[in-house]
Amino acid sequence: MKLKKTALIGATLVSLLTSGYAMAQEQFIGLPSYRVGAYASGGSGIYGGWIDYMTLINERDGGVNGVKLTWEECETEYNNARGVECYERLKGKGPTGNSVFQPLSTGITMSVLEKVPQDKIPMVTIGYGRTDAADGRVFPWVFPMISTYWTQASAIINYIGSREGGMENLKGKKIVQLYLDVAYGKEPHSIFDKLAEKYGFEIVKIPVANPGNEQQAQWLQIRQQKPDYVILWGWGVMNPTALRTAAKTGFSRDRIIGVWWSGAEEDTVPAGDAAKGYTAAGFNPAGTDFGVIKDIQKVVYGANKGNMEDKSRVGSVYYNRGVVHGIITVEAIRTAQEKFGKGQPLTGEQMRWGFENLDIDAARLKALGADGFMPDLKITCADHEGSGKLKFQQWDGAKWNVVTDWIEGDREMVRGLIEESAEAYAKEKGLTVRDCTKES
């Protein structure tokens, strides 16, 4: 009887320990995705690419140093209230809680901005979100990586300058910003004003009412203004409509430059021939001609474990952007594991350290098979943005072709504005500004 009891207790203990052990070797990543609604094409592409990359890491490498990545999706419908619900739902999952929150929606970013420091979960917003959060001294938990809207605005002007054969040739030029009339479209106004003053060009801002499926009046106005370039700051249905209306009013698409949320196949294909010659910015090019995408095709789709229902979308702009999200997340896990113990799942605080000390240089990119797939990225305590480099792609009627090398924005000017804005926020909220010389 006694023996039996001891054996039983022993067996229970062993099973408890081992199950705990098996559980502990997982890193949980909550995915607040959206696959229905007006922005489903973006959401399904990006989250699909991200999931496929994590599947690749699990299948090919057996996880990050043996730690398997696990994830769960939560449908936000691109709705702020649902996003907050997902944030709260995902926050405690997995052995160490949610490691990172990336909502892919500026509205949801704003809604959880003040919750993340309390819950100690880093929030990464790649190519959207609150611009001045790039000041890591004031926003230690938020990482608007690769490039903010302000850097993008400045990079686009630099690109236009290079097309004109030098920034000095911008003098006297006229540039229209055709923007979606919501917070997103107004974000770069101040920086455009500053740049116009600096280089002596004229900026004309023309709003398009949300959602932007009627632009006749705006393009007539553009025809009257006769600008040298139009910067298309749109999202969703506004983009193909702009290209079609431009064709109708006879504005050369060659001189329309889109932002990265206006530069996907979903924006050009519906516009048909009208999109030919249109150029757009992006921090990742389209295409399957990269080592990492080839690996995904071979390992993930070869084993029929891919997330995309429509396999032809692998290699599209949004899909590749999702892979960029995956690379950054996995590299942060790797970086943090090097400090806090290889093969161990990380807490939110350790993940934050990983993001803050992320350094994906050219050699690392090559090793990842992502050479030319995304810009190099170095995050520091003060700078949560990183390189801010963009590539421009032109649509030839069937696919995107990269037409430039990585182009940087005016980092100095943007950084000054970011610090100014972040310090004002810190003052309003009574936050202490971190001293980055004391951080390790």
Which residues here bind another protein, judged by CB under 8 A? Answer: 33-36, 40, 44, 47, 72-75, 77, 79-82, 84-85, 87-89, 91-92, 106-107, 110-111, 113-115, 130-131, 181-184, 186-187, 189-190, 210, 307, 309, 421, 425, 428-429
Shortest Å, Cβ 50 to another protein: 12
Residue closer to another protein, measured from CB, 371 or 419 = 419
Q: Please list the residues that pair with 36 across neighbouring strands.
A: none
Residue closer to another protein, measured from CB, 209 or 402 = 209
Shortest Å, Cβ 285 to another protein: 25
The dihedrals phi and psi of 142, each to the nearest 5 degrees, come to -115, 135
Residue closer to another protein, measured from CB, 110 or 402 = 110
| 8 Å CB contact between 208 and 181 | yes
Shortest Å, Cβ 229 to another protein: 23
For residues 155 and 411, what is the distance between their CA atoms, to the nearest angstrom?
A: 9
Residue closer to another protein, measured from CB, 210 or 344 = 210
Residue 302: CB atoms within 10 Å: 12
Residue closer to another protein, measured from CB, 186 or 411 = 186
What six digits make up the tokens of 390? 């963009």
Residue 262: CB atoms within 10 Å: 27
Q: How far is CA 87 from the centre of its chain?
A: 18
For residues 98 and 28, what is the distance between their CA atoms, to the nearest angstrom?
A: 6
Given CA atoms 39, 371, 152, 435 in this order, what sign does their dihedral have?
A: positive
Alpha-helical segments (H) within 66-145: 80-91, 106-112, 116-119
Q: What is the CA radius of gyration of the chain?
A: 23
CA dihedral in degrees (197, 259, 151, 136; nearest 10)? 140
Long-range CB contact pairs, 168-173, < 8 A, 24+: 168/199, 170/199, 170/200, 170/201, 171/199, 171/200, 171/201, 172/200, 172/201, 172/202, 173/201, 173/202, 173/228, 173/229
Residue closer to another protein, measured from CB, 66 or 92 = 92
For residues 284 and 324, what is the distance between their CA atoms, to the nearest angstrom?
A: 8
Residue closer to another protein, measured from CB, 234 or 354 = 234
For residues 140 and 368, what is the distance between their CA atoms, to the nearest angstrom?
A: 27
Shortest Å, Cβ 207 to another protein: 10
Residue closer to another protein, measured from CB, 114 or 435 = 114
Residue given tokens 């806090």 in the structure block: 340
Residue closer to another protein, measured from CB, 33 or 102 = 33
For residues 318 and 253, what is the distance between their CA atoms, to the nearest angstrom?
A: 22
